[in-house]
Amino acid sequence: MNNLEVGNSKECELDGKQITIRPISIEDMSLEHDFIDHLSPETKHYRFFGAINNVSDKMLKSLCDVDGKNSMAFIATELVNEQETEIGVCRYVLTEKPNIYELALTIADKWQHKGLGKLLMNELIDYAKSHGVKWIYSVELADNSFMRSLSKELGMKLKTDPDDHHQVIYTLEL
């Protein structure tokens, strides 16, 4: 996939279905709300490190309002009954340390283990590289075998979180 600039989208086929990968926008708040609302308890647990039942408007705004420099997010969508439905999201945000960004990836349950996570991560990594990002990292629960496998495929380094042995930190120098 090519780098996507804000406002552009890319169509591709995955698992026999047409999907769109595009930057998220503030107009996607209801799409993001529905996406989070329909995640399984296990997927919510891995994404938010605990139970989350209701996503506030403030949180939705922070997830959807990216500037392309200090924060970026790509969503994958498919058309379901002629309605755009979010099926995955990958994002990063600048930390307190210059050029170090924290990332997160979430895939809808029925789309997991089909390659969507890798597509989204590669898109985000390509975008980050082209915009001068030097380091990305992700803090994940240690038992998240999907992220362990994906991070290995992407060449990320793994270390146990020194503050919490239930978590691991994946890093990638770009």
Q: What tokens appear for 96 in the block?
A: 């307190």
Taking the domains of the chain in order of start, what are their residue ranges? Answer: 10-173
pTM above threshold 0.85: yes
Strand partners, 100: 135
The CATH number assigned to the domain with range 10-173 reads 3.40.630.30
pLDDT per residue as tens, the chain (174 positions)? 334 444 578 998 998 999 999 999 999 999 999 999 999 888 888 887 766 777 888 989 999 999 999 999 999 999 989 999 999 999 999 999 888 999 999 999 999 999 999 999 999 999 999 999 999 999 998 999 899 999 999 999 999 999 999 999 999 999
Sheet holding 167-173, edge to edge: 10-14, 17-23, 71-80, 83-94, 100-107, 135-141, 167-173, 157-160
